[in-house]
Structure 1
Amino acid sequence: MSHESTRRRFIGVAGAGAIGLTAGCIDGLAGELGTANDTDEDGESTDPNGNESDGGSGESDDSPSIDGGAVVFVYDDGPIEDYEQAFPVHQEFDAPASTGIVTEWIGREEFNGTDWMAVNHLEELADAGWEISSHTTAHTALGAFELVADAGPDDVRIYPEQRNHGFHHGYDLEITDGNERVRRTVVDSDQDDVGGYLEFAEPLGTSFQAGETVERYPEDVMHEFLGGSKEELESLGFEVDTLLAPYDIVDERTVDIAREHYDGIANVQPGSMVNDPDTFDPFETRRDYFVEFTSREAVEAQLDQVAAEDALGILGAHTFKEEVTPERIRETLEWVVERDLEVLTLRDAIRATAGNGS
């Protein structure tokens, strides 16, 4: 199926997602914005075919651009459906995407109800211009949760507002009210007559008040989730610049820690896809789902806004979900074509807007 007669050229820096390339972090982006070309031994800019460029115009067919509006597709978790369903449709439109990879899930079969992409699948995506993003080592929620019930010194259970940290046993949590701070290992999680709880191997040893106390992962554990994922993906040969936060849960502490490892986070403020490119901050991103939790009318309305405001839209989906079909992905890409919007990876969107935000 060809869309050549109607589609606008979708942008992807030549080789930006390719194996083994090191384009550099945010500190070095200012010098990269005018061209997507490589630099030869003499420092001259060259295009992917080896032709020298004087670099004076700053114009290149391969430079990331959001003039006239652009969108970024960011897929969650790394299921095999990203490769088998989303990838072929994006290839029809010559449109890249970003995929958030949980490193412990790479290559797993029949886990959590699906199979997960192996390294060879990720390599093929990257070679086609897709971005490989981190989605943490084990799909752990990165934010803090407030306690909704008081806890005493002899208690081995706490009751947070959400039980996301109970999905992963064996990790340490930090319980703190700003004054007192204890560290305990999660050994169980369930519900009782009080509510959803996390259970520890030993009592808290001190009292904590509901509404004044949070439970969260200690800083060293957060660095393990974020830095460890990036290191593992890079050891496999991928350039990894961005993070996709599990469960769309991000707080200020998450952002501060993530800044030490990444150039941006895809989903800091979920619920809207529309980002102002003139004030774009890659650590204040807005992302919205384009099949799940929404309607066709709502997605088209937001794409209309992206086009009208020359904005940057960040869209997400879980391709293993039944409602996220190749037909729905194709339909959305056709809407993008109709509105004459570019399609970028998140990495290239950050590069295209570098220096615009606060």
Structure 2
Amino acid sequence: MDDDRGAGAAALETQTTRRGLFGLAAGGLLALTGTGAGAASTADEETSGKVVFIYDDSWREDWDQTFPVHQEKDAPACCAAVTEYVDTSWGLLPEHLREMEESGWEIMSHTSAHDVVGNLYLTEPAEPEDDRLAVDGSFLTDHDGEPIVIGTDGGTVENVIAGGGEDDDGFFLDLEEPVGEAFAAEETFVRFTDERIRKEVVGSKEELEEMGVDVDYFVSPFGRSEGLVEELVGEHYAGFANREGDGLNGLANLDPYDLGRTSIDGRSSSRADIETFYDQVAAGDYLGIVVGHSQFEETTEERVRFAIQEARERDLEIVTLREALSAHGVGPDEVLGADDEESTEDANGDDGAESNGDNGDDEGEARTEEETVGSAIRENGPSIAAGTGLLATIGLVGRAAYRRLNGSDGPN
């Protein structure tokens, strides 16, 4: 294994989190969403259910292993690409992305560096003299020297990461300076600066489109979806592919900014779990969204082939997310408006200069009527984080009741 590939793998497989709604996605927990008579096989019944496959992280296995199986089965899928992984010895190449898209696949953004862009939260109160914070995840601990913000919607303070770890009480984050103010547990968030999150969320879309592919949807690393990321996705994307839920997205009232996923990875879901999930999709007229990680040893070509075949046996239509949402009137044209890019250019001025990255007022004033409709759709959804992939092994639980829940997750 190349050194850069090994470093990427190590960074992905050491993250742990403790907050919120993390996906009723696997490990037998799929059955909690409606097994029994309502989940009986519908292979012989007509259904309007649809299934979207998303493969996260843009590792080379997407091209070498997973893409050929989908081509063999004439089944489209989506690739959620991390731009810093693209064009490495172990990641997809730009030409792979373009050929995937030409073959009917859809390319999504999964940030620039696969760093957490959603909020972490304090699990214990902080006093002004504290230079260590108790937090609900380890995602920031290996970013020594990086600036962060700490606070609430009412105001934030800046600081710099000085390490972190885990002890008997949970995860902690060390700061270069005392926090300087008192902050309450649970309502206080910790995250990267606005500039850094904007680079990860908006910059990754721009980078992918410069590679020659279209990008309409965003996938958040580790399922963290609260905070500035929500605003940026709403402004720059037609939907949030893993914001909340268990993968069962009702076709009757699809909200492109409140979609959930469930895992087909071998380390997260059994074959019976996948079958049960598809039964539910077929029985309830859902858009079922599933996620896989081709680089996982357990997510084999055989596993991918099985997941496609089981969907087909239930007469579920396999489509891209763009196709599914467009067919139900909430695709990119309906949500963002067909002239969204032109509107953004007009808002930035004749010379194409970008608006201030730290202030969304200019962009908000430039929104088209269609964008306003999209915003109204988003505001109807709860602010809930959702995880997929290995996060699925801990199941879906209520955010308010389980903020202190411990679990482990892998790449998302």
Which TM bucket (shorter chain)?
Answer: 0.7 to 0.9
**Contact 1:149–1:158 (Cα < 8 Å) also in 2:** yes
User: What's the CA shift for 1:192?
Assistant: 4.8
Q: 1:166: how far off? A: 2.4
Question: Which of the pair has more CA radius of gyration?
Answer: 1
- Number of aligned residue pairs: give it: 287
Q: Which residue of 1 aligns with 2:388?
A: none
Conserved in 2, the CA contact under 8 Å of 1:140 and 1:168?
Answer: no
Distance 1:130 1:94 in 2: 11
Aligned pair 1:72/2:46, yes or no?
no
Give the aligned partner of residue 356 of structure 2.
none
Change (3 A) 1:307 1:82: same
Structure 1 pair 180–252 and aligned structure 2 pair: CA distance change class (3 A)? closer
- What is the one-letter code of the residue matched to 2:131? V
Displacement after TM superposition at 1:252 (Å): 6.0
Q: Comparing 202-211 with 261-270, which one deviates more in the overlay? A: 202-211
Could you tell me how far 1:124 is from its partner in structure 2? 2.0
Q: Does 1:280 align with 2:254?
A: yes
Counterparts of residues 1-358 of structure 1 (less than 5 Å): 68-109=48-89, 115-179=90-154, 181-192=156-167, 195-251=170-226, 253-270=228-245, 272-291=246-265, 292-355=267-330, 358=377
CA distance in 1, matches of 2:263, 2:184: 36
Deviation at 1:89, TM superposition (A): 0.4
Q: Deviations over 1:211-242 (max 9, x none)?
A: 44221234333222111000111111110100
8 Å Cα contact 1:106/1:119 also seen in 2 = yes
Deviation at 1:170, TM superposition (A): 4.3
Task: State the partner residue of 1:22.
Answer: none
Residues 177 and 126 of structure 1: is their aligned pair in 2 closer, same or farther, counting only changes over 3 Å?
closer
**Cα offset for 1:147?**
1.1
Q: Distance in 2 between matches of 1:307 and 1:178?
A: 41
**Of 199-208 and 259-268, the range deviating more from structure 2:** 199-208
What secondary structure is seen at the aligned counterpart in 2 of 1:286? coil
Kept after mapping to 1: 8 A contact 2:194/2:228: no
In structure 2, the CA distance between the partners of 1:273 and 1:192, relative to structure 1 (3 Å rule), is closer
Change (3 A) 1:82 1:222: same
User: For each residue in 1:313-336, what CA deviation from the matched residue of structure 2 results, as whole angstroms up to 9, or x when unmatched?
Assistant: 100011111110000100111111
- Work out the CA distance in 2 between the residues paired with 1:317 and 1:157: 36
Whole-Å separation in 2 of the counterparts to 1:170 and 1:236: 31
**2:214 aligned counterpart, secondary structure:** coil
Give the C-alpha shift of residue 175 in structure 1: 0.6
Per-residue CA shift, 1:4-40, capped at 9, x if unaligned? xxxxxxxxxxxxxxxxxxxxxxxxxxxxxxxxxxxxx
Partner Cα distance (1:252, 1:209) in 2: 17
CA distance in 2, matches of 1:265, 1:316: 14
Normalized per residue, the structure richer in helix is: 2
Name the CA distance, whole Å, in 2 between partners of 1:91 and 1:120: 17
Kindly provide the amino acid, as one letter, of the partner of residue 273 in structure 1. Answer: G
SS in 2 for 1:165: coil
Contact 2:201 2:229 in 1 (8 A): no
How many Å separate the matches in 2 of 1:323 and 1:197? 32
Distance 1:351 1:255 in 2: 21
Whether contact under 8 Å (2:57, 2:293) holds in the other structure is: yes
- CA deviation string 1:37-65 (max 9, x = no partner): xxxxxxxxxxxxxxxxxxxxxxxxxxxxx
Three-state SS of the structure 1 residue aligned to 2:299 is coil
Indicate how the Cα distance of structure 1 residues 204 and 119 shifts in structure 2: closer, same or farther if over 3 A, else same: same
Rounded Cα–Cα distance in structure 2 between residues aligned with 1:182 and 1:146? 14
Identity over aligned residues, as a percent? 38
Following TM superposition, by how much is the alpha carbon of 1:67 offset from its aligned partner in structure 2, in angstroms?
A: 7.2
* Matched residue type, 1:227: V
**Any conservation in 2 of the 1:264–1:350 contact (CA below 8 Å)?**
no
AA at the equivalent of 2:253: T
> Contact 2:66–2:304 at 8 Å: present in 1 too?
yes
d(CA) in 2 for partners of 1:94 and 1:125?
12
- Aligned partners of 2:243 and 2:259 also within 8 Å: yes
Give the gaps of 5 or more residues in structure 1: 1-65, 110-114
Structure 2 gap ranges (5+): 1-45, 332-373, 378-412
Q: Provide the rounded CA distance (Å) in 2 between the counterparts of 1:280 and 1:221.
A: 31
Give CA-to-partner distance per residue, 1:105-139, whole Å, 9 cap, x none: 11223xxxxx2112122222122111111001111
1:145 Cα deviation from its structure 2 partner: 2.0
Corresponding residue for residue 30 of structure 2:
none
Structure 1 CA distance for aligned equivalents of residues 47 and 238 of structure 2: 22
Using the size of structure 2 for normalisation, the TM-score is: 0.65
Q: CA deviation digits over 1:284-325, x for unaligned, max 9?
A: 112100134222112111111212233211000111111100
